[in-house]
C-alpha cells in the first residue's frame, strides 16, 4: 500500500514525480471536486519537473510542472503546488485545510484553487493536496524595502482581506487541532487557555524560560487574566497563521494568502494579533497600528477586538520564539535560510516579556 515509507523518500524528487504521475493518470480532471484542473479536450501528458520548495515542521511543498496536450496539437506546461502532510496519524490538518480552501473560494481575497485533496495513503504514502500555484514569492524580508506608499497599500490590502474573511461569522467556534467533540464540551476561553498551556510547556521544555529569565507560571497567570474577555457571542473565520512566509507578493502587492491548515472559526482578534506582532519586526510597519485598524474596519463590522489583541500578540510572540529557537537547534540549514526573520523574532519576543514583567 506504500504507507510505511521512510520520510526521506519525500526528498526524492524522482520518487514523488513517478507517484504523482501515476495518480494523475487515473484522475478524471473535468470539473473534478469543484475546480477545473484541465479543460475539456485537454490531455494530461506527464510531469516535466518536480522541485522541492520547502520541508517544514509540518509539511512538504513541491512545485509541479505538468505538461498538457491541447487541441490542434498545441502543448502547454503549467505549474501547480503539491502539499504533502508527512504525519499520517493526523488527518485533522490536511482535512481542515481542504475544507477551508473550499469554504473561501468565493470570497474576494487572493487564494489558491484547490484541485485535489487525497486522503488515501496508497497513492503517495501520505495525504496531500494539489493546488493552483500563485504568481509571486513569500514577502519575508522584502517588506523592509517597501516605500511609504507601498507599505500603506500593503497594509490596506491585508486589512481588507482579513476584514472580508472575518465577516464570515458563526455562533460556534472550532479548532485546527482538537476534535469537534472536545470543543463542544469546552468554552472558547478554556480552549484558548489550553493552547496557552501547551505553548508554555514547549517553552519550558526548550528551557526558554531560563534563557529569558521568566517564570512560566507568571506568564500563564497573565494570560488567564484575559479569560473574562474571551466569552464571545460570535466567532469569525480566521486564517490562524498570518506571517511573512504565508503572504505571497508580486510587484510589492499581495497575490495570495497561503497555508490554511490552522484556519478555524475563532476570535478575529487572533489574526489581528498575529499581524501586529509581525508589524513590530519591521521599522516601516511599527507605527502603522492605527492606520491598519482604520482600514480593517472599512472591510467588516466593528467586532470590538481591541481589548484582546495584545493578549494574542503575546501568545504569537511566544509561539514564534519557540519556532525560531527550535529551528535553530534542530534544523540549522532551514534557520540559516530564514535567519533575518528568525533574528527579528528573537529580538522582539523578549521585549514583550520585559513589558509583562515590568522590567522595561
The reply to whether 179 and 52 lie within a common domain is: no
Task: Give the CATH number of the domain where residue 74 resides.
Answer: 3.30.200.20
pLDDT, one tens digit per residue, over 9-36 is 788 899 999 999 999 988 766 555 446 7
Decide which of 132, 161, 176 is a domain's last residue. Answer: 132
- pLDDT score for 16: 93
The reply to whether 198 and 89 lie within a common domain is: no
Burial 193-227 (b: 16+ CB within 10 A, else e): bebbeebbeebeeeebbeebebebeebeeebeebe
pLDDT grade, residue 6 (50/70/90)? low
State the Cα–Cα distance between residues 92 and 94, nearest whole angstrom. Answer: 6
| Grid cell 482579513 in the structure block, residue | 162
The reply to whether 259 and 240 lie within a common domain is: yes
Contact present, 247 and 138 (Cβ < 8 Å): yes
DSSP letter assigned to residue 107: S
Decide which of 79, 98, 132 is a domain's last residue. Answer: 132
Containing domain of residue 148, as a range?
139-356
Is residue 225 over pLDDT 60? yes
Is residue 155 over pLDDT 90? yes
Give the global pTM: 0.91
State the Cα–Cα distance between residues 221 and 228, nearest whole angstrom. Answer: 13
Backbone φ, ψ for residue 64 (5° rounding): -105, 125
Task: Give the CATH number of the domain where residue 177 resides.
Answer: 3.90.1200.10
State the Cα–Cα distance between residues 262 and 95, nearest whole angstrom. Answer: 11
- Average pLDDT, whole number, for the chain? 91
The reply to whether 143 and 128 lie within a common domain is: no
State the Cα–Cα distance between residues 82 and 133, nearest whole angstrom. Answer: 9
Q: How many structural domains is the chain composed of?
A: 2
Identify whether 317 is part of a domain.
yes
Is residue 3 over pLDDT 60? no
Identify whether 264 is part of a domain.
yes
Decide which of 90, 114, 132 is a domain's last residue. Answer: 132
Radius of gyration of the chain (CA): 21
Amino acid at each position: 500500500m506504500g504507507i510505511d515509507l521512510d520520510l526521506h523518500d519525500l526528498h526524492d524528487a524522482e520518487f514523488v514525480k513517478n507517484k504523482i504521475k501515476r495518480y494523475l493518470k487515473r484522475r478524471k480532471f473535468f470539473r473534478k471536486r469543484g475546480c477545473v484542473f484541465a479543460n475539456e479536450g485537454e490531455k494530461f501528458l506527464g510531469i516535466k519537473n518536480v522541485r522541492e520548495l520547502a520541508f517544514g515542521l509540518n509539511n512538504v511543498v513541491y512545485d509541479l510542472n505538468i505538461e498538457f496536450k491541447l487541441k490542434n496539437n498545441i502543448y502547454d506546461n503549467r505549474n501547480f503546488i503539491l502539499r504533502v502532510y508527512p504525519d499520517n496519524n493526523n488527518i485533522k490538518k490536511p482535512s481542515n485545510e481542504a475544507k477551508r480552501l473550499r469554504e473561501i473560494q468565493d470570497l474576494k481575497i487572493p487564494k489558491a484553487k484547490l484541485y485535489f485533496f487525497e486522503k488515501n495513503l496508497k497513492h503517495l504514502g501520505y495525504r496531500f493536496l494539489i493546488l493552483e500555484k500563485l504568481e509571486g514569492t513569500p514577502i519575508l524580508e522584502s517588506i523592509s524595502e517597501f516605500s511609504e506608499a507601498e507599505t500603506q497599500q500593503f497594509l490596506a490590502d491585508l486589512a481588507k482581506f482579513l476584514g472580508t474573511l472575518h465577516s464570515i461569522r458563526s455562533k460556534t467556534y472550532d479548532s485546527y487541532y482538537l476534535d469537534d467533540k472536545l470543543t463542544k464540551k469546552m468554552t472558547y476561553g478554556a480552549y484558548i487557555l489550553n493552547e496557552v498551556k501547551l505553548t508554555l510547556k514547549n517553552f519550558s521544555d526548550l528551557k526558554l524560560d531560563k534563557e529569558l529569565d521568566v517564570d512560566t507560571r507568571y506568564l500563564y497567570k497573565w494570560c488567564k487574566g484575559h479569560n473574562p474577555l474571551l466569552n464571545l457571542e460570535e466567532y469569525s473565520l480566521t486564517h490562524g497563521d498570518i506571517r511573512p512566509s504565508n503572504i505571497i507578493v508580486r510587484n510589492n502587492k499581495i497575490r495570495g494568502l497561503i497555508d490554511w491548515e490552522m484556519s478555524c472559526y475563532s476570535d478575529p482578534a487572533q489574526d489581528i494579533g498575529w499581524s501586529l506582532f509581525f508589524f513590530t519586526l519591521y521599522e516601516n510597519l511599527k507605527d502603522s497600528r492605527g492606520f491598519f485598524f482604520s482600514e480593517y474596519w472599512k472591510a467588516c463590522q466593528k467586532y470590538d477586538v481591541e481589548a484582546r489583541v495584545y493578549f494574542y500578540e503575546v501568545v504569537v510572540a511566544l509561539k514564534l520564539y519557540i519556532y525560531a529557537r527550535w529551528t535553530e537547534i534542530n534544523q540549522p540549514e532551514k534557520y540559516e535560510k530564514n535567519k533575518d526573520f528568525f533574528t527579528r523574532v528573537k529580538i522582539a519576543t523578549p521585549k514583550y516579556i520585559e513589558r509583562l514583567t515590568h522590567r522595561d
